Structures are given as structure tokens and as C-alpha cells.
A and B are shown apart, each in its own frame.
Chain A
Amino acid sequence: MTGFATLFRKELVRFWKVAFQTILAPVVTALLYLLIFSHVLEENVRVYEGVRYTQFLVPGLVMMSVLQNAFANSSSSLIQSKVTGNIVFVLLAPLSHLEFFGAYVAGAMVRGLVVGSGVLAVTLPFVGVHFAHPLWIVAFALAGSAILGALGVVAGIWADKFDQLAAFQNFVIVPFTFLAGVFYSIHSLPPFWQAASHANPFFYMIDGFRYGFYGRSDIDPAASLAVVGVFLVALSALALALLRAGYKLRT
């Protein structure tokens, strides 16, 4: 337990020491999105009856920040340790695979949730956000950050160089979050793209998360949570299998 707790704390201290880049910068980015999109679309787009576009947008942006930062935390911590070689300090220790995995994911979750809360806190005074079902909000925030934390572990183990990781981020994480209905409801899409969105796990995270705010969603939130849960279990199993095999970490 001490081993897990220590590695978890190390992960927190690591991003906290550079909070300017790891917390403040992503919060500012999300606010810029909010400013631009709400300014352009506020009067023209109405997704749900009685919900203004900016109100619709905030949960999507919060979740996007949670997901992207959770991924960034575990993946960049691992690749940095691999490239600089100090990963050996963790590899030499008697940590179990589960402790190793759990600590990186937990650290990623905290970073994602801190950034997400930051975005939400800053928008609250300006946008009338509702909290219809707070427990759903918490459930999807936890599950989403855990999934991206786990995905970050997998990507961090797989990547040998920073640019491979950047490619993963640019070609997988960013498009999948953008196309998951952060800025729109998928009901406004043509049928093909609606169907395609259902194959995107990020869609369920954002749709379910938004349900917690306004009690409206494209999909039943319980069904979304089930999809998200299955995805989390599958990714965790993959990450643990990689760790057990020592894939790319132990030659």
C-alpha cells in the first residue's frame, strides 16, 4: 500500500510543481473555446429546448478538459521517465503491476478532475449551469478520467519517443473527443455520422456527463455508463497485461 501511495503522491507532486503548464494552461484553453464558440453560435444553435448553446457547451468542454488532461498526465509522465531513464527507480522497486497501474491512473484522474473543476469553476459565474443529477456528473467524471488515465498508461508504455506520443494525442485523442459531441448533439448529424459516433467511446462519456447537468442526453445515461465501464475494464486489462509482460519496460 505504501508503494502505491508513494507513486501516486509522486505523480501528484510532479504535475503540481509545474501547475502553470499542467493546470492553468488547459483551463485557459478551454475558456478560449467557450468564448469563441458561444460568441459565434449562441444565437443560432439550440440543441435542447430550454438550454442555451453556451449552457450546452460547458459540460462538453469540462469533460474534454478532464479527458485530455488525464491522458496527458500518465502518458507524459511515463514517456519522460522512459526517455530520461529514471523509470528504473520504479522498475527496481517491489511494486505490483496493479500498484504501478493504479498509481499512474489515480494521478491522471486527479489532474483531469482538477483541470475540469477549474474550467467549471471559472465558467459558473457567467453561464447558468444546472446540476440536475450530480451523482451522474461525478460517476462520468471519475470513469472518463480513469479511462483516459489508463489509455495514457498504454500509450506511455508503447511510445518510444515524444513525437510518437504527440501523434497519438493529435490523431486519436483530440479527434475522438472533438467528434464525440463536445460542440453539438449528434442528433444534428446525418445518419451515417450519428451511427459512427456510437462507435466512439468518448461520445458516451460526454453524453452521460452532460445528462448529469441538464437531465437530457442522446442516450440513456445508464447505458452510457455501462459502455464506459466495459471500456474501462478492457483498457485496464490491456494495460495490466502489458505490465505483466514487461512490454517495452523490461527488455
Chain B
Amino acid sequence: MTAAISVSGVAKRFGDVQALEGIDLEVRAGEFFALLGPNGAGKTTLISILAGLARADRGAARVLGHDVVADYRRARRLLGVVPQELVFDPFFTVRETLRFQSGYFGIAANDAWIDELMANLDLTAKADANMRSLSGGMKRRVLVAQALVHRPPVIILDEPTAGVDVELRQGLWRFMRRLNAEGHTIVLTTHYLEEAESLCSRVAMLKAGRIVALDATERLLARFHELALAVRVSGAPVPPALGARARGGADGRLTFRLAGYDEVEPILAGLRGAGCRIEAIELAEPDLEDVFVRIMSGARPEAAQ
């Protein structure tokens, strides 16, 4: 089966910045895929190359088998992109914006689907409002709707939940899950890693223009298979020896990575011995955020296996 997205050997340079360096990536049709990485890692650049907004210096990118440069018209028809920047055309209403976008994709009569999109994204009440008058979150919803007007089989969302309230976030993901269940391939970038963890079956992590991890979400979590002990303390300062081992601490909450359960007691004993009062204890498996932090700080996931 043709890959939904296939990127091979893609490199891109902006002046002194090597934004992407030899990226190889395949997203299978029907996947729910996360592209993660810190600010400036190259996520948007990679998406721009797929969308034809930027040209790769080297390498090739394909959407469902169609080269994004040589066969750009077919590639673009198969792809829907929600851009990271909150852009809009202040001349038009929400409905006009969506009708124009349909027309650009060659669809003349699309009102039934436009109405459905607006209903799903809670935009119906704003259908005839000027784009200028919408709040930031509302504008974001219109961007999502615009990306979907042509029912693209491959959908890329570049930080769709930045600055968006909880209700829309949940509504948006419900909608994306439905589209994914109907067969659409979905790729998202986000800095809320719990979103990626709960939605995406596979994850790629980018750092400084290179892919530093690419695996099924579960396997990525399993690679750093270890326990974490989170405690919240008050009353006395944490002894430096223990504090150095822990992460966090803003609200008195400390997280210790453990090699096994037998490390729990000595830590608690150490805290009590220093006069700390233990307010809460939690033993947890690492989440994607922990994995992300480890990988970005240079830990090699392979070595931990």
C-alpha cells in the first residue's frame, strides 16, 4: 500500500540555519501520527515542504505517491494542511472563506460539507460573521475547516490546539478521531505531549533538523521502562543529595526516577530524616513527556533497551 506521506533524504537550509538535515520518514495510510520536537526543530519546515510552501534543497517528498514538486496538483489535492500561523483574510465572512477555499480546490458546490464542517467545529453561529470579528480560537477553527473543505485523505495539523480552549480541543480531537476512523491519515504537531500520547499510534521526534526517535508510541514509552516516584513535601528543605536526583519541584513536587521498587523506601526515609512532611506520593510509569525530555537531552533510547 502506498504510504500516505513519504519523505526521503530531505534537507533544507535557511541562510545559516540548517532547518532540516537528511530526513527520512514514512507515514502509513490510516495512521494517527505525531511529529514532535522543541521550538525550531524543523516541524513546520517539513510540513511546508510537503505542502509545497517551501522547496527542499535535497531529497523528495510524496503524498500518497505523488511528488510534491513534479506532481504538485495531485499531491495538494490529497493533502489538507492547518498552518501554524493564525492567518485569515479580513475581507470575508467565515462562509465566504470556506466557499472560496473549496473553489480553489476545484469544488464548485460544497455547501452541504461546509455546513457539516461548521457544525462539527462549532462555527455555525459565526457563519456570516466577518473573519476580523472572530476570537483567536474561532479563527483557528476556521483554519481547520479550510484544511478540510476538499475532504483530503491526508491531514496535517501544525499545532492546531495552540491558544485553544479545552472544549474546542476535545471537540477537535473527537472530530479528528472520527476522520481517522473513516480512513483519513492524520499527522499533528503539538507541544502538549499528553495529546500526542493519547491520540497517536506512532511518533517522530525531531531535534535540530534530524529525526532522533521514530517509533510506535507504546514502544517509545517502553524503551525508557522505569519507575518514577513523585512526592510532594513541605515543612523543610529537601536535602541536596536527594534534590539533585529529582526533577521538578516548583510546588514542592519532586519526581525521582527509580531502577526498581526497592529504591522507594530509602528516598522516603531520606526525606523524612531531613524533616520533610510528605503530603502526597505517586508511583508512575513515565509518560511521553518524560521520554521526550530524555531524548531531547541526549539520552539514546536504544541504549536503554
**Residues of A that sit less than 8 Å from B by CB:** 1-3, 5-7, 9-10, 13-14, 17, 81, 84-86, 88-96, 246, 250-251
Contact = CB atoms under 8 A, between A and B. Distances in A.
Given A2-B107, A85-B85, A92 B90 contact: no
Interface stretch (B45-53, B113-121, B214-222): B45-53
A3 B102 CA distance: 9
5 contacts: A86-B89, A92-B79, A246-B55, A250-B52, A251-B14
Contacts of A81: 89
B104 interface: yes
Contacts of B104: 3, 6-7, 89-90, 93-95
Contact of B77 (A14, A90, A91, A94): A94
Interface in B61-106: 72-74, 76-77, 79, 81, 83, 85, 87-92, 96, 100-106
Contacts of B74: 94
Contacts of A251: 14, 48, 53-55
B223 to A, nearest CB: 36
A6 B100 contact: yes
Given A9-B103, A81-B89, 8 more contacts: A2-B103, A6-B100, A7-B103, A9-B100, A88-B87, A89-B100, A92-B53, A94-B76
Contact of B108 (A2, A89, A93): A2
Contacts, number: 79
Contacts of A250: 52-55
Contacts of B83: 88
Nearest to B80: A92
B106 A3 contact: yes
A95 B106 CA distance: 9
Closest 9 CB pairs of A and B: A6-B103, A93-B104, A85-B87, A94-B73, A94-B76, A86-B89, A2-B106, A251-B54, A86-B87
Contacts of A1: 106
Nearest to B81: A92
Contacts of A246: 55
Contacts of A5: 103
B146 interface: yes
B207 to A, nearest CB: 22
Nearest to A14: B91
A89 B89 contact: yes
Nearest to A90: B104
Interface string B252-272: 000000000000000000000
A74 to B, nearest CB: 15
A84 B101 CA distance: 17
A36 to B, nearest CB: 34
Contacts of B51: 91-92
A17 B96 CA distance: 13
Chain A CB within 10 A, most for which of B53, B74, B102, B108: B53
Contacts of A90: 104
A235 B112 CA distance: 41
Given A3-B105, A3-B106, A96 B52 contact: no
Chain B CB within 10 A, most for which of A5, A14, A85, A251: A251
A96 B73 contact: yes
Contact of A84 (B90, B105, B146): B90
Chain A CB within 10 A, most for which of B48, B55, B103: B103
Contacts of B88: 84, 86
B95 to A, nearest CB: 13
Contact of A94 (B14, B48, B87, B106): B106
A10 B104 CA distance: 10
Contacts of A10: 100, 103
A88 B53 contact: yes
Contact of B91 (A13, A92, A93, A94): A13
A87 to B, nearest CB: 8
A106 to B, nearest CB: 15
Chain A CB within 10 A, most for which of B83, B100, B104: B104
Contacts of B76: 92-94
A84 B87 contact: yes
Contacts of B77: 94
A84 B77 CA distance: 24
A91 B91 contact: no
A94 B74 CA distance: 7
B197 to A, nearest CB: 29
Nearest to B14: A251
A90 B73 CA distance: 12
A246 B76 CA distance: 15
B101 A91 contact: no
Contacts of B52: 91-92, 250
A240 to B, nearest CB: 15
